[in-house]
Structure formats: C-alpha cells, structure tokens
Amino acid sequence: MSAFIGKYADELIKTAKYIATPGKGILAADESTGTIGKRLASINVENIESNRQALREMLFTAPGALPFLSGVILFEETLYQKTADGKPFVDLLLENSVIPGIKVDKGTIEIAGTNGETTTQGLDSLGARCQQYYNAGARFAKWRAVLKIGPCEPSELSIVQNAQGLARYALICQENGLVPIVEPEILTDGSHDIAKCAAVTEKVLAAVYKALNDHHVLLEGTLLKPNMVTPGSDSPKVSPEVIAEYTVTALRRTVPPAVPGIVFLSGGQSEEEATLNLNAMNKLEVLKPWTLSFSFGRALQQSTIKKWVGKKENVEAAQATFLVRCKANSEATLGKYAGGNTDAAASESLYVKGYKY
C-alpha cells in the first residue's frame, strides 16, 4: 500500500516541485483541434494547422513572458510542431526553463443512466502514449474530469467514476515518467451558492485523494488542478476575499501537505477575476503547505487572441498583452498583484453555459 516508487520517482518529485515554484505557473495551451477552432473562429481566422502553429508560436516567443511560466500544457499536435524557423516548440520551451506538458485524455462522454453526468475517456494504451510523449520531451500530463452541481448531482456514481479514472491515469503517468496533473473540475453552471460549491468540492476532493491513495499514486509527484470555490454562474457574485477563504478552507480540509502545488483552473472567469482571486488566496494569512498557482487557458490567452486577430502586424502588441497577464498572475502567486488592468477584454467574462472542450 505504500506509494508506487518506480524508476522515475525522483524525477517526478523534482519536476512537480519545480512546476510549483512560487512566482510561476502554467499556460494551458492544450486546446484540441476542435476547441482551438472555436477560438480562431471568434476572430475570423481559419482553423488550419499553420494558424494553430502561428498562435502557439506567438505565445511561446512572447518576449519576457516565459520566465513567469514553469510549464505549458500542449495538445498532441503542438508537441510535435516547430517555430517558423524550424525549432521544435519543445526545445524552445526547455531552453527557457519551461516544462512541456501534454493533454492525454480523450474527452468526456455521458454516463448512461445519469442526468447528463460524464466520465473521461483515455485509459486504453495510455501507458504506451505516455512513453512516446516522454520521448518527445513532455514531463507532465493533464487529464480533465468534469462534475456538475445539481439537485442530485454530483451523484455518488459520477464521483467514484471520475475519481477512479483520475487515479488510474495518474498511476500510469507515473509509471512512464510524467507528472500527472489531477483535474477534477466542478463546473460553475447553476444557481447554487458558494457554500454548496464548497461542500461539493470538499466531497469530490476527499474522494479523489482516497482513490489516489488506494492506487498507490506518489502524491509528492503530482499536482492538483481544481476549480476555485465560487457561487454558481446564476448566483450573485462575491468578492475575491470570500472566494479565497472558501477555497483555501476546502483545500486545507482535503489536500495532504505531500502535494507540492495546486494550480487552479480559471473556468469561465474573466482574466482579471481569475488573477484577483488567486492573489487573494495567496494573501490569506494562514498556513498553506502547497503553493497556490495558476494553470490558465482562456484566462491567459483571451485578450491576447483578441488583439492578434490572426494578423502578423498585431503579433507584437498581442505578445505585450500576453506578457501583462503572465506577469499579473505571477504576482498573484506571491500575493503581490496590485490589480487595476484597464483592458476591457481582461474583464470580459469567459463563462459559457454547458462549456465543452
């Protein structure tokens, strides 16, 4: 029953610790081809490989941005892509001390017999895929499980299913040299209050850690990517301080100190909201034995993409915008963000009901 100590144990612990470095965080750039298509469509850019490559190159070469990142999650296609000059993205990132990660799940499907609850696919031949990704330079992985809040949700079945899936994924990753980011996202959809979200988050995280422990996952070689604890999307908003207290309380009740870092997802929060909430959590005067950082997709890229609109002449300005968000979130991990970004796009809510990746 002890944790699985395979040949990669030391490396996993080192990598996880590095990713959790205070002042740094993760850029989630692992949108699948379908999902990135939606982003590109929103700025009237065609969803072809060269455009996807151009977007990612713009982000990875943004001057001054990479020092604020400890990792970038990639989609499979991107893992094997290069810059326009022919340098593999993986090499570019590693040269700048940014660890490449890889999305390894194969999306969610509905669990028959439930009220639209889902489980995540991707365990078949996961081991072999992880090995390939490791050889290609990836050192961490990500798998997104999704739960929702409703009158009878999340059901015991969905909690157990998703927790088991995460645990199996995590162990297989560790067997093959990848630090698993464990992501049990509880969607904000609904009219529930923050207390309800907290109760559900605590229940789900308790089940997740039980499953990880039962599966012998080495906690020191993992990271957690949870939702922040917030009111439902249809409920009145609350201040970052309230979100911080509920979130940190929930984490203190469920996440053992062996876990080196917690990297929040942004869900549908606006760029600024996500940063302010993260900042409030790090300002909280209470003992947090893990670092609290970010693993943001939309909340890092939204205004950057809007500025770019696919045009080469906008790249510099877009990269400057990207740098602003990276720096802001880096400060937030240290509780030092002063706030006050005046960009309208930064305050735009990114919430989409029933959001599907």
- Of 172 and 255, nearer to another protein (C-beta) is 255
311 is catalytic: no
The residue from 11, 77, 202, 348 that contacts another protein (CB under 8 A) is 202
Range 211-240, binding another protein (CB under 8 A): 213-214, 219-220, 231, 235-239
Q: Which CB, 198 or 300, lies closer to another protein?
A: 198
Choose between 100 and 231: whose C-beta lies nearer to another protein. 231
Give start and end residues of each alpha helix (H) in 144-270. Answer: 156-175, 194-214, 240-254
Cβ proximity of 291 and 333 under 8 Å = yes
The contact pattern for another protein, residues 284-313, with x = CB under 8 A and - = no contact, is xxxxxx------------------------
Residue 204 Cβ, how far from another protein at the closest point, in Å? 10
Closer by beta carbon to another protein, 206 or else 345: 206
Is residue 7 among the annotated active site residues? Answer: no
**Active-site hit among 183, 185, 220, 331:** 183
Q: In angstroms, rounded to a whole number, what is the distance separating the alpha carbons of residues 228 and 170?
A: 21
Beta-carbon contacts of 328 under 8 Å, excluding residues fewer than 6 positions away, are: 275, 337, 341
Q: Does 166 bind another protein (CB under 8 A)?
A: no
**By the rule CB under 8 A, 66 interacts with another protein:** no
Q: How far is the CB of 158 from another protein (least distance, A)?
A: 16
Residue 223 in contact with residue 16, Cβ under 8 Å? yes
Give the nearest distance from C-beta 139 to another protein in angstroms: 22
Residues of span 230-289 touching another protein by CB under 8 A:
231, 235-239, 241-242, 245-246, 248-250, 252-258, 283-289
Taking CB under 8 A as the rule, does residue 9 contact another protein?
no
Name residues whose C-beta falls within 8 Å of residue 147's C-beta, 6 or more positions apart in sequence: 117, 153, 154, 158, 159, 162, 184, 185, 186, 187, 200, 204
Q: Name which of 186, 211, 190 is nearest 200 in CA terms.
A: 186
> Which candidate, 86, 51, 89, places its Cα nearest to that of 315?
51
Query: CA 103 to CA 144: how far, in whole Å?
Result: 9
Q: Please identify which residue in the block is written with the tokens 């996500």.
A: 274
Q: How far apart are the first and last CA of the chain?
A: 35
CA distance 204 to 184: 8
| Closest CB to another protein among residues 116, 289 | 289
Q: Which is nearer to another protein, 55 or 212 (CB)?
A: 212
CA 126/CA 168 separation, integer angstroms: 10
Site of interaction with another protein (CB under 8 A): 1-3, 194-195, 198-199, 202-203, 206-207, 209-210, 213-214, 219-220, 231, 235-239, 241-242, 245-246, 248-250, 252-258, 283-289
Residues classed as catalytic: 183, 225
